[in-house]
Structure 1
Amino acid sequence: MADGTAQADGSGVIGPITDEDYSERCLDCQADLAPDFCILVQRAVNAGWTEDDVASALFELARAHIKVLMAERTRPAPRDQGHGWASAG
């Protein structure tokens, strides 16, 4: 959300100051996510995971997410598969 207001889901995540790219965007995102991130880490530690377990798991989740994003960006656009939907008429 680029208007600087908190999300309706109560997460406290505010969003970027603008929809446009800007030099501090990544740092702003980190600062915005940090409180919920710390809560997630603490919940996992309270459940019995070590901080090393949690850090490794979060790293692997982030890496898997990046792989999905990269695959989606390199996937060719879907074409008409000959079902007739695009050519009906």
Structure 2
Amino acid sequence: MSYHLSNLAWDIELRAMPKIVLLCLCHLSLQSTCECEVTVRKLSFVCGMSVSAVRTHIDALVSRGLVDEISADGRNFYRVNVAARNEQQ
């Protein structure tokens, strides 16, 4: 759980729904690696969105470079890039 990443995510300009998904990913990520292993179904439940909406917002976050989606051994990991983005500003 990373409050540091969550605090950094608040400063990123995003619409409401993608921001909720980003904040959830930040909250579930380890601060040391900025990674979390979470299912889209769990994100859907926590964010109060449909599975397809969560997938759409993750794709948008990936295209903006805010999140990396990593597949390994049939599992999905997400790496949040908000810390690197804040250092650039």
| TM-score (structure 2 length as normaliser) | 0.29
Which structure's relative contact order is higher, taking Cα pairs within 8 Å and 6+ residues apart?
2
| TM-score (structure 1 length as normaliser) | 0.29
User: Which structure is higher in strand share?
Assistant: 2
